[in-house]
Chains A and B, each alone.
Chain A
């Protein structure tokens, strides 16, 4: 199929296009030069007066896997309130708001103009489950990050300071379970949670059974990621998440890898939850300024905000001991699961309230990070779906970063003490549409190493979003309602060269790719490590290693990304 998107205001930061009126030509799922398509036969989309940009890329959204499904299981009430009807030949049905079913995830992302989403935390032993869910999510392309920090093999190699073997192990496991990057969650916590501990561990605490520290784990995995030349750097949820005063731990974690390699070597995820000053909940303050200062000064760290949204959410994380603490605060439902020799998880449904001091400050801190960090290439938009709120609220977050007025509308109703303590009310900065495209498309694609995503240059995947925004007429600062409306329902979403959303509604169901990493090189070391794995596996795990490995053909549409290990 050939498509020509005509006369739109094109925003393509990776190619330095900033709102110029251009045509975008599409053929066989790729962006091509206009001369390559047959205009008389091509489907013409008139985008005049509209904004054209690459499809959205979400680097951190819990959309698939065992804990996501347990979230659905424990929240039938979340499914009674929201549903999508079956339309024969067009779309499947589904239910759920903060824990939506697979169909809804794909359709609602596509409806907003997002086309690539990464599940950021999967326990390797249960990753076959994660892939089966990813396979059932329509339209979008996807990938998943396996949890590796409290993996016994990793900790063993960390304790032996054997970076080579650790790298070879990571190379093996990424290919074995079809993962994409290294995920670290409150490093060390899962192991301690095995005996009900692990809350509030800090970067230099000792973690059994090998008595390594979170700092050593993080540094080793950071080096591993550099040795393997992984497309995305280590993706870390820092220690002491959700605990007042934790911004210092976050800074300490950032500094711990400052000397390793060139370029970006750490992505701190949902940083809002890790940017708290103060000593207790009553004395909670924003720690965003110190973090922004560090990120502005240094080149090695990027982050995503993990914005909270007032209303219902379902917190779910591999930080099981923190979820246990949350259960104490909310005293409602609580789920937890340990995964042998690897990981753990916890789930607690919550409600963020405007009048709550803590929640209101959390809301401010997320936006402060977005606004105090000067370079939009370093700070991505997320709600850590469904932890801070559902991804369907991105349009509102966009309006808040683009419009001081939109923020003030919310600020005037929040907890007064929080208002006085927050930095946000004093911030004037407003993102341009170009900045928003960076933050939601170009930067996440670039940081995830997805070279064919996040831009509209020739050869890019034909993932395009067209919005009813005329940048010459709409002033986002004032007309933020129109921005919200436009981003909630894209005028048109093109995925892999096919029109999947038109006038804000899904018109076609297709299924995207699943990216995973295959590391070439280090063959000798890989074999050695594989035999060490085989030796221990039976003792440590309750399955055969042959059941653990996932074959390529088990995935609907696997797409290996080849990288070459150095050294």
Chain B
């Protein structure tokens, strides 16, 4: 019998996984950066794998490449979010709409089996053969060279608008001011593009005209009793608006990627409200910044230098004038630059937050350790918090995805409300996709609810434990799907992806995503923020105008146009 380890599995973003996302899901970079498991150095030595390892949970098993972490996190294994992780994560949302991506019990053992490439993985686990048609040549024109300034970066929720792009012959040839993720987007936007509208025929894709694709897509949607329109966080508000109108007309459900990132945050705010500020206010004034369950150096690379830890503010001028605290289940790049790192046991954030609230009110904490943190440290952190002049608590998926979910957020919000009795304190969710905040905002103002909105009764209804995209797919409740600017097949648990394969699926996306590769109708569109304009909302709610830097490839229109064509066709069919 081979040596095996029992560990707690967590998933999350990494810089390379993020780059791989832009350079193409079927690239070697994505494979190398995503089909891996990071192990604590001691755990690694104990397991001593000669080749690959097999990760087993109650929900499945998958072979990945083991990597010895440069940081210590005994008992915890980390797999970057993606198709490999999806096989083994816990699809249970416990009524929140958020599958349990973090804190899954797993065993790891050495294996001689190979790590499946993405297309083999899809064939093996989902039984669908992936045949991606040839990718077109990038467009070119002879306009010459020009420089575009102040471009908002359409990658993450930071929406840094200080990017300078140089365009030559109709293509972006270089960018200044961006991070690794930003560069991967601006310099690889022509990689893996979908050449033309396609339809699945005999297991492969056949190019069809845009009109035909729109007609077929509309027929699928009209014939569906209960379609799901999912995605929306990587495109403009303008696209989402059309999507909501279409969903209302179809009597379906519209959901955005909030379901798998900060859905619990939104639900926490339902209970308590939220105490926040814009990023500039934090940068200008905050002398204490706490990063809880988030790792901006990997997921939001310019956050620290532009808005938070090391940014130059009006009143707090540098890193030296700020205290940085990191609370996480493991050491991260971010925790390494902290003044204080507090290591919390996985899934025990709620306990620690509650203890902090008690400490703030000078209640006695009877336990020596809370969530793996000593009582003295809890008191110390509480004191650091209430003696800050202006404190900020940034929190990420470490708090929303693990045990407790929306209750964690409710407690965090209450902690910050309590802190305002002592001093000034705000908090902010580290939102991932560049317009997920906007997707929530616009869905909210149009329907009254932020995501997971059901129109089956002719008016908006909301219950994420039933109407979120994750739940609907996990439970097999929808009979058609339109996926816009998102890749649920790469980020949803296996059960949901299986369900997606059983129903007709339409994808509108600039690129070959995993979802596009298994879809029935694929309609390419221009990139919002590179090839067409629109509005996007930064993680703090500040709305920015996305810029058009280059023309889209010939024959490719924006998703707003594609969706309007579908909307009009559906209206024509149903006579609305």
The interface residues of chain B lying within 8 Å CB-to-CB of A96 are 448
The interface residues of chain A lying within 8 Å CB-to-CB of B152 are 547
The interface residues of chain A lying within 8 Å CB-to-CB of B543 are 126, 128-129, 132
Contact status B389-A195, CB under 8 Å: yes
**Set B248, B274, B307, B423: member contacting A335, Cβ < 8 A:** B274
Encode contact with A along B386-419: 1 for CB under 8 Å, 0 otherwise: 0001100000000000000000000000000100
State the CA gap A551–B544 with chains docked (Å): 11
Which of chain A's residues has its CB closest to B448's CB? A95
Contact status B280-A102, CB under 8 Å: no
**Set B269, B278, B460, B544: member contacting A74, Cβ < 8 A:** B269
Which of chain B's residues has its CB closest to A539's CB? B314
The interface residues of chain B lying within 8 Å CB-to-CB of A69 are 441, 444-445
State the CA gap A126–B245 with chains docked (Å): 24
Encode contact with A along B522-545: 1 for CB under 8 Å, 0 otherwise: 000000000000010100011111
Contact status B150-A334, CB under 8 Å: no
The interface residues of chain A lying within 8 Å CB-to-CB of B281 are 194, 338-341
State the CA gap A103–B442 with chains docked (Å): 12
B64 interfacial contact with A, CB 8 Å:
no
Q: Chain A nearest CB: distance from B317 CB in Å?
A: 11
A76 interfacial contact with B, CB 8 Å:
yes
State the CA gap A17–B423 with chains docked (Å): 58
Which of chain B's residues has its CB closest to A196's CB? B424
Stretch at the interface among A40-48, A77-85, A254-262: A77-85
The interface residues of chain B lying within 8 Å CB-to-CB of A544 are 150, 161-162
B576 interfacial contact with A, CB 8 Å:
yes
B143 interfacial contact with A, CB 8 Å:
no
The interface residues of chain A lying within 8 Å CB-to-CB of B149 are 546
Contact status A73-B446, CB under 8 Å: no
Q: Chain B nearest CB: distance from A137 CB in Å?
A: 9
Q: Chain B nearest CB: distance from A522 CB in Å?
A: 26
**Set B284, B389, B460, B541: member contacting A66, Cβ < 8 A:** B541
Given contacts A94-B459, A136-B241, contact A542 B306 (CB under 8 A): yes
Contact status B541-A327, CB under 8 Å: no
The interface residues of chain A lying within 8 Å CB-to-CB of B448 are 72, 79, 83, 94-96, 99-101, 104
Contact status A136-B445, CB under 8 Å: yes
Contact status B537-A93, CB under 8 Å: no
Q: Interface residues of B toward A: which range? A: 35 or more
Q: Chain A nearest CB: distance from B211 CB in Å?
A: 24
Q: Chain B nearest CB: distance from A216 CB in Å?
A: 22
The interface residues of chain A lying within 8 Å CB-to-CB of B82 are none
Contact status A540-B424, CB under 8 Å: no
Contact status A94-B460, CB under 8 Å: yes
Encode contact with A along B279-312: 1 for CB under 8 Å, 0 otherwise: 1110111000000000000000000001100000
Contact status A327-B423, CB under 8 Å: no
Which of chain B's residues has its CB closest to A538's CB? B162
**Set A76, A79, A92, A324: member contacting B420, Cβ < 8 A:** A324
Q: Chain B nearest CB: distance from A232 CB in Å?
A: 25
Contact status B314-A73, CB under 8 Å: no
Contact status B424-A194, CB under 8 Å: yes
B179 interfacial contact with A, CB 8 Å:
no
**Set A66, A75, A340, A547: member contacting B545, Cβ < 8 A:** A547
A88 interfacial contact with B, CB 8 Å:
yes
Contact status A338-B545, CB under 8 Å: no
Encode contact with A along B6-46: 1 for CB under 8 Å, 0 otherwise: 00000000000000000000000000000000000000000
Q: Which A84-138 residues have C-beta < 8 A from chain B?
A: 84-86, 88-89, 92-96, 99-104, 125-126, 128-129, 132-133, 136
Encode contact with B along A172-204: 1 for CB under 8 Å, 0 otherwise: 000000000000000000000011100000000
Q: Which B261-276 residues have C-beta < 8 A from chain A?
A: 266, 269-276
Encode contact with B along A524-554: 1 for CB under 8 Å, 0 otherwise: 0000000000000001111110110011001
Contact status A543-B284, CB under 8 Å: no
Given contacts A101-B445, A126-B543, contact A95 B280 (CB under 8 A): no
The interface residues of chain A lying within 8 Å CB-to-CB of B248 are 86, 92-93
Contact status B449-A95, CB under 8 Å: yes
Q: Chain B nearest CB: distance from A85 CB in Å?
A: 4
A393 interfacial contact with B, CB 8 Å:
no
Q: Chain A nearest CB: distance from B536 CB in Å?
A: 10
State the CA gap A541–B544 with chains docked (Å): 13
B59 interfacial contact with A, CB 8 Å:
no
Q: Chain B nearest CB: distance from A16 CB in Å?
A: 41
Which of chain A's residues has its CB closest to B425's CB? A196
The interface residues of chain B lying within 8 Å CB-to-CB of A341 are 280-281, 284
Which of chain A's residues has its CB closest to B306's CB? A542
Given contacts A74-B273, A194-B424, A542-B283, contact A334 B545 (CB under 8 A): no
Contact status B545-A128, CB under 8 Å: yes
B327 interfacial contact with A, CB 8 Å:
no
Contact status A95-B460, CB under 8 Å: yes
Q: Chain A nearest CB: distance from B269 CB in Å?
A: 6
Given contacts A125-B542, A336-B275, contact A547 B161 (CB under 8 A): yes
**Set A95, A99, A546: member contacting B150, Cβ < 8 A:** A546
Given contacts A95-B459, A101-B460, A542-B283, contact A196 B446 (CB under 8 A): no
Q: Chain A nearest CB: distance from B437 CB in Å?
A: 10
A347 interfacial contact with B, CB 8 Å:
yes
B277 interfacial contact with A, CB 8 Å:
yes
B237 interfacial contact with A, CB 8 Å:
yes
Given contacts A132-B442, A136-B241, A543-B161, contact A338 B455 (CB under 8 A): no
B439 interfacial contact with A, CB 8 Å:
no
State the CA gap A76–B459 with chains docked (Å): 14
A482 interfacial contact with B, CB 8 Å:
no
Encode contact with B along A317-340: 1 for CB under 8 Å, 0 otherwise: 000000010010000011111111
Given contacts A72-B448, A86-B455, A542-B306, contact A340 B544 (CB under 8 A): no
Q: Chain A nearest CB: distance from B357 CB in Å?
A: 15
Q: Chain B nearest CB: distance from A35 CB in Å?
A: 40
The interface residues of chain A lying within 8 Å CB-to-CB of B249 are 86, 88
State the CA gap A547–B536 with chains docked (Å): 11
B126 interfacial contact with A, CB 8 Å:
no
Q: Chain B nearest CB: distance from A313 CB in Å?
A: 15
**Set B283, B417, B446, B544: member contacting A103, Cβ < 8 A:** B446
B574 interfacial contact with A, CB 8 Å:
yes
The interface residues of chain B lying within 8 Å CB-to-CB of A290 are none
Contact status A86-B280, CB under 8 Å: no
Contact status A128-B273, CB under 8 Å: no
The interface residues of chain A lying within 8 Å CB-to-CB of B460 are 79, 83, 93-95, 101
State the CA gap A65–B47 with chains docked (Å): 55
State the CA gap A104–B444 with chains docked (Å): 13
Given contacts A101-B446, A195-B389, A340-B277, contact A86 B237 (CB under 8 A): no
The interface residues of chain A lying within 8 Å CB-to-CB of B74 are none
B458 interfacial contact with A, CB 8 Å:
yes
State the CA gap A172–B204 with chains docked (Å): 57
Which of chain A's residues has its CB closest to B416's CB? A336
Contact status A132-B161, CB under 8 Å: no
B interface residues, Cβ below 8 angstroms from A: 149-150, 152, 161-162, 237, 241, 245, 248-249, 266, 269-281, 283-285, 306-307, 314, 389-390, 417, 420, 423-424, 426, 440-442, 444-450, 455, 457-460, 462, 535, 537, 541-545, 574, 576
CB pairs A–B below 8 angstroms (19 shown): A64-B445, A74-B273, A74-B274, A76-B270, A76-B462, A79-B460, A83-B460, A85-B457, A86-B458, A92-B245, A93-B248, A128-B543, A128-B544, A333-B271, A336-B426, A337-B275, A340-B279, A546-B149, A546-B161
Q: Please list the 3 inter-chain residue pairs (A to B) with the smallest Cβ-Cβ separation, ordered nearest first.
A: A340-B280, A542-B280, A95-B448
A interface residues, Cβ below 8 angstroms from B: 64, 66, 68-70, 72-76, 79, 83-86, 88-89, 92-96, 99-104, 125-126, 128-129, 132-133, 136, 194-196, 324, 327, 333-341, 347-348, 539-544, 546-547, 550-551, 554
Contacts A74-B272, A100-B448 aside, 14 further interface pairs with beta carbons under 8 A come to: A70-B273, A73-B450, A74-B269, A76-B270, A126-B541, A334-B273, A336-B274, A336-B426, A337-B274, A340-B279, A340-B284, A540-B284, A542-B306, A543-B161
